[in-house]
Amino acid sequence: MQFIARKFDELSTVELYEILKARSAIFVVEQNCVYQDMDDLDYRSLHVFCEEGKTVTAYLRVFYKEKDVVQMGRVLTLKHGTGLGGKLLHEGLRQIREKMPCRKIYIEAQKYAVGYYEQEGFKVISDEFLEDGIPHVQMELELTDC
List, as one string, the DSSP characters of 106-118. EEEEEGGGHHHHH
Check residue 135 and give its pLDDT: 95
Neighbouring C-beta atoms of residue 9, cutoff 10 Å? 6
Q: Which residues contact 28 (CB under 8 A, 6 or more apart)?
A: 34, 35, 37
Supply the mean pLDDT for the chain.
Answer: 94
Helix, strand, coil fractions of the chain, as percent rounded to 5: 35, 35, 30
Distance CA(25)–CA(79), nearest Å, equals: 12
Residue 50 and residue 16 in contact, taking contact as beta carbons nearer than 8 Å: no
Predicted model pTM: 0.94
For residue 54, the one-letter residue type is K
Taking only the tens place, the pLDDT of each residue in 30-47 is 888 888 788 999 999 999
Taking only the tens place, the pLDDT of each residue in 71-107 is 999 999 998 889 999 999 999 999 999 999 999 999 9
Q: Which residues contact 11 (CB under 8 A, 6 or more apart)?
A: 19, 47
Residue 58 and residue 50 in contact, taking contact as beta carbons nearer than 8 Å: yes
Residue 62 and residue 45 in contact, taking contact as beta carbons nearer than 8 Å: yes
